[in-house]
Amino acid sequence: MADRPVRWYILFDNYEQGLALHALLDEHSLPNRISPAPRCLKEAAACGMALLIGADVIESVRACIEQHSGEYRVILPVEGQLLSHRDKYC
Amino acid sequence: MADYVQMWKDLGMDLESHDVLCSVLPTAVGDVFMTQQNRPKAMDFWDLVISEVHGIRPAELIEEQKKGRKVFGTFCVYVPDEVVIAANGIVTGLCGGSQFWVPGGEAVLPKSTCPLIKASVGARLGRTCPFFRIADMYVGETTCDGKKKAYEILGEDVPMYVMDVPQMKRPEDIIKWKNEIAAFAKKVEEFTGNKLTPEKLNEAIKLVNEKRKALARVYNARKSECLPISGRDALLMMQIAFFDDPARCAQMCNRLADELEQRIKDGVSVVPAGTKRILVTGTPLAVPNWKLHNIIETSGAAVVCEEMCTGTRYFENLVDETKTTLDEQFMALSERYMKTNCACFTPNTGRIDDILRMVKEYKVDGVIDCSLKFCCLYDTEKYSVSRALKEAGVPILSLETDYTDTDAEQLRTRIGAFVEMLDG
């Protein structure tokens, strides 16, 4: 598991929705980064932008979203998605 | 990026092929950028742009075209954006940085052409890049033979205007470039239907100068021993500067610079103390070419400066804002642009002076001089660059690469050994 950490992606209907949630999480000091939606989640994603959330804060993020009725499409985990030495460019 | 499908269809794009490109970009962005720790918060703007790279900005450009504005696609830092902006036009950079587009370019160009040119031609002819579809006119320039011939091919498919860049820097060459700028201005006036005035050109000069100052602020922060931003993030900022709105670019770069300056005050660095600092020089790194920076920065070093077109050559030197006639302003533009040290000039000793100056300014431990395959000009200059740096006692590694992944292991070995040598 340590070699293949799980990261969570929040997917959106459009980037405006994504930016609103990004602002909400920032406001509550919950770590999140704007990221392209991973290709493996293509079927679930409606827009190219996602929010990347670490496994250590996902429950706090969910709670914040619920409390503030934050809008999103779906939250999904991806295992071992990011590899700095993969050397697959485009 | 499903919400942009109709826009891409309307642009006549090949959606099936474009989807292949879309399938590889998120992985590369994830690997290169999302694996980094402690990135500046202000990078969220560029993270958004790259996440929606074929969506948000192209949609903005199309909206402006509906209002009657013209979009000019450019391939070189010698083309004066100010002239286009003064005529209410929009500039977007078009250099191709993806291997995905190279085979399309090779269909009409010799394989022994540099990948940047092949990718640019492939992006247009393959109909897989919205920016290449949107641009109403392409503006080329004579900075290398490969580009000159490629522009002839592109010119069969899209309105093309080529500026004749002098090859020397004598006083008469500065005047020659001024005349080229004046001729370009006439063409821009015709194409946009908008007359240039000294007032409008002065506004445009100030706008682009503000953008340059903002980019310079970010680079100045990289001079600090406490390194507040990675080379990969700075490169992404720079690459996107070529096709963003200039006022917003300046605003976002200033926002980033504010954060970086605060980080320096707070002692927040993205690398451990003692990490070796690398200056990269050579041919441009067009988006999404991140291979070299990623390999350097995952080999124990940090890139602190790029002496290249996607780097210091883009923002150093400002245009004189005090001139009041078009003739004087064209001369001021020429004087500024002719300070850019491109390998197409002979001699080009100014580039070596720049590198030696930047080695000191950015507290550089070693230089990597990297050119794209088949770029004869930069490849040849490696000899004099290497000699000058050795004389100055600065370690240097000369490399050649392209857009493929196939040499990544070889680059890792060579760069890893170079960094190890610097550590020793």
C-alpha separations of B242 from A21, B137, B196, B313, B315 in Å: 28, 16, 23, 13, 11
Helix (H, G, I), strand (E, B) or coil at B58: helix
Side chain identity at B180, as an amino acid letter? Answer: E
Mutation site for A-interface testing, chosen from B7, B23, B43, B44 by largest number of A Cβ within 10 Å: B44
ipTM value: 0.95
Mutation site for A-interface testing, chosen from B23, B32, B48, B402 by largest number of A Cβ within 10 Å: B48
pLDDT at res. A39: 87
Structure tokens of B145? 């033979």
User: Across the interface, do B2 and A46 touch by the CB < 8 Å criterion?
Assistant: yes
- The C-alpha of B77 sits at a distance from chain A's nearest C-alpha, in angstroms, of 24
pLDDT at res. A1: 44
CA angle B420, B398, B285 (to 5 degrees): 105
d(CA B203, CA A12): 39
pTM of the model: 0.97
Structure tokens of B357? 């100056």
HEC per residue, B158-194: CCEEEECCCCCCCHHHHHHHHHHHHHHHHHHHHHHCC
Q: Which chain A residue's Cα is nearest to B28?
A: A89
Total of domains in chain B? 1
pLDDT at res. A81: 82
Structure tokens of B267? 């002692």
Q: What are phi and psi of A78, to 5 degrees?
A: -135, 135
pLDDT per position as a tens digit, B156-188: 999 999 999 999 999 999 999 999 999 999 999
pLDDT at res. B423: 84
d(CA B228, CA B39): 8
pLDDT per position as a tens digit, B147-161: 999 999 999 999 999
Helix (H, G, I), strand (E, B) or coil at B105: helix
User: Across the interface, do A47 and B52 touch by the CB < 8 Å criterion?
Assistant: yes
Least confident of A4-18, B281-295, B350-364: A4-18
- The C-alpha of A6 sits at a distance from chain B's nearest C-alpha, in angstroms, of 13
The CA radius of gyration of chain A, in Å to the nearest whole number, is 13
User: Across the interface, do A38 and B30 touch by the CB < 8 Å criterion?
Assistant: yes
What is the rounded average pLDDT of the residues A67-84? 93
d(CA B348, CA B144): 14
C-alpha separations of B382 from A22, B77, B291, B352, B422 in Å: 45, 21, 20, 10, 20
What percent of chain B has pLDDT above 70?
100
User: 10 Å Cβ neighbour count for B348?
Assistant: 21
Under 8 Å between Cβ of A12 and A41: no
Helix (H, G, I), strand (E, B) or coil at A81: coil
Which element (helix H / strand E) includes B247?
Answer: helix B246-266
Would the CA dihedral through A86, A57, A66, A17 be positive or negative?
A: negative
pLDDT per position as a tens digit, B101-159: 999 999 999 999 999 999 999 999 999 999 999 999 999 999 999 999 999 999 999 99
CA angle B263, B316, B415 (to 5 degrees): 65
pLDDT band at B392 (very low <50, low <70, confident <90, very high): very high
Placement of tokens 């300056």 in the chain: B261
Question: Would you say how long chain B is, in residues?
Answer: 424
Under 8 Å between Cβ of A54 and A14: no
Closest residue to B44, CB basis, from A34, A84, A87 = A34
d(CA B364, CA B290): 20
HEC per residue, B72-86: EEECCCCCCHHHHHH
d(CA B4, CA B7): 5
DSSP E strand stretches across B373-412 = 396-401
User: Across the interface, do A90 and B51 touch by the CB < 8 Å criterion?
Assistant: no
The CA radius of gyration of chain B, in Å to the nearest whole number, is 21
- The domain containing residue B25 runs over which residues? 2-423
pLDDT at res. A80: 81
pLDDT per position as a tens digit, B50-85: 999 999 999 999 999 999 999 999 999 999 999 999
Structure tokens of B29? 């962005």
Least confident of A39-53, B20-34, B279-293, B365-379: A39-53
With 60 as the cut, is the pLDDT of residue B42 above it?
yes
Under 8 Å between Cβ of A89 and B293: no
pLDDT per position as a tens digit, B202-239: 999 999 999 999 999 999 999 999 999 999 999 999 99
What is the rounded average pLDDT of the residues B413-423? 96
d(CA B265, CA B326): 44
With 60 as the cut, is the pLDDT of residue B345 above it?
yes
User: Across the interface, do B27 and A39 touch by the CB < 8 Å criterion?
Assistant: yes
Domains of chain A, each with CATH number or no CATH? 6-79 (3.30.70.1530)
CA angle B1, B7, B12 (to 5 degrees): 115
User: Across the interface, do B30 and A46 touch by the CB < 8 Å criterion?
Assistant: no
What is the rounded average pLDDT of the residues B6-17? 97
C-alpha separations of B223 from A25, B369, B377 in Å: 32, 19, 29
Helix (H, G, I), strand (E, B) or coil at B318: coil
pLDDT at res. B363: 98
Structure tokens of B96? 């191709």
